[in-house]
Amino acid sequence: MYVPANILSMITQTSTCRPKSIESIRALRAVAALLVTLFHLAMKMETTTIHSPVLRCFKSGFGGVDVFFIISGFIITHTNLTKINCPHLLPTYLKKRLGRIYAIYWPTVLLATLLLLWLSRLAPALQWLSFPVNPVGVLKAVVLLPTHESTLPVTWTLSYEIYFYVLFGLVIASRFLLIIPLFILGATLLTGLAECFGKTALFQFPFHDFFFSPFNLEFCLGIGVYFLTRRCTFKISRSVVAAAIGCFFLTGELIDPALIWQRILGFGIPGSVILAGLVSWEQSDRCRYPDWLLKLGDASYILYLIHVPIIMVLTQAMMRLSLSDYVVTANFILIGVLCWGSWQLHLRIEKPILAWISIRQFRPIGFRNRFTGISLMRIGKPQTAHKMVTR
């Protein structure tokens, strides 16, 4: 299928409406990470039969994952739009995106696994690991393959992030490859329609539910919000954003986290409205964010990774010490410490690692001045963003 050049020109042309900063993204990342953290704390308290009216308010916290997916669609488009159809930029793109995922994930999952293995030997009566450790399982967790199991339970979402990065990378390699993401989007919608009418999908294969997951639509919603805020001047009233927030929290009261299509409606669409509202307010200088929230947004990935095992260890340790009356209070204090610690780890470890990766000159096999596989298709030399706009 041929993708007309004028469509790519419309996609990549510049606009004065482009958001001048991404503070709204940083702040929303922080909120999403806190929502997920508090949700997992509430779930842990339920397993220990500790009931807290305060934690009951965060039953919708799992929607923070949906917000992360929307943010990913927005920010990847924001930072890489001009790279479309520039195959010589593909290695740099993959280095930055995959480095952002794996650089801090690998040492974190290693330390978490060692800690839980040690605790399993120290207190074998407690179930520290919920799955057997075997070479195949470890390899799947290291690479973040779909359906992997990890000592960091939240990493199932990273498989979707990598999937999205790869799909966007295809369009960077060549505009002709846009047909692949479009096919996946169409197949996802058709699968959803089939489910709505109680029909089975037209075809099934291993990882079908992953490749055609409704979560794909949330990345697309993020892309849509980006183009909306970039090309249009508009205002979203506070009442509309407040209604979207209300719908977001109401959804968590009504649905189960496994009902993905309902999540798209109850979290994805309201989350997109919230993001569009925040960005539009930022464009018109109608909002400011506290410095601590922006810093937490920068460190949100680390907080997202580490909070589950640490909450689990603290809770089970206090239960063994018969301190159940203080578990909730201790965990709230712990979350504050985790927020501060995540910022310190981001500042002292994650940022230096990412900076080192950024300056390293990686030369994957098959890449030179242009993407080898694409050059065999005779697409020719990649054009600059200026030529893409003016042709």
Q: Which domain holds residue 175?
A: 5-390
User: How confident is the prediction for the chain on average, in pLDDT?
Assistant: 84
- Distance from first CA to last CA of the chain, Å, rounded? 20
Task: Match 């464009």 to its residue by tokens.
Answer: 283
Torsion of CA 199, 205, 208, 212, to 10 degrees: -80
pLDDT given at position 145: 94
Number of domain units in the chain? 1
Residue pLDDT, tens place only, 266-283: 999 999 999 999 998 888
Look at 104-108, 152-156, 193-197, 334-338 and tell me which has the smallest mean pLDDT.
193-197
CA pair distance 32, 61, nearest whole angstrom: 8
Look at 14-28, 315-329, 356-370 and tell me which has the smallest mean pLDDT.
356-370
Put residue 190 in one of left, alpha, beta given phi > 0 → left and psi -120 to 50 → alpha.
alpha
Residue pLDDT, tens place only, 198-230: 777 667 778 888 999 999 999 999 999 999 988
pLDDT given at position 338: 97
292's CB contacts (< 8 A; 6+ apart) are none
C-alpha closest to that of 62 among 337, 224, 255, 193? 255
CA pair distance 188, 202, nearest whole angstrom: 11
CB half-sphere exposure, 159, CA atoms < 13 A: 21
What percent of the chain has pLDDT above 70? 85
DSSP code of residue 14: -
- Binned at pLDDT 50, 70 and 90, residue 132 comes out as low
CA pair distance 201, 210, nearest whole angstrom: 13
- Binned at pLDDT 50, 70 and 90, residue 342 comes out as very high
Residue pLDDT, tens place only, 142-152: 999 998 988 99
Higher model confidence: residue 224 or residue 8?
Answer: 224
Put residue 5 in one of left, alpha, beta given phi > 0 → left and psi -120 to 50 → alpha.
alpha
C-alpha closest to that of 241 among 253, 255, 225? 225
| Mean pLDDT score, 337-361 | 92
CA pair distance 143, 170, nearest whole angstrom: 20
Structure tokens at 384: 């600059």
Q: What are the C-alpha distances in Å from 104 to residues 27, 71, 111, 141?
A: 21, 20, 11, 14
| pTM for the predicted model, two decimal places | 0.86
Which range is most confident: 55-59, 235-239, 297-301, 366-370? Answer: 297-301
37's CB contacts (< 8 A; 6+ apart) are 61, 303, 304, 307, 311, 335, 338
SS3 72: helix
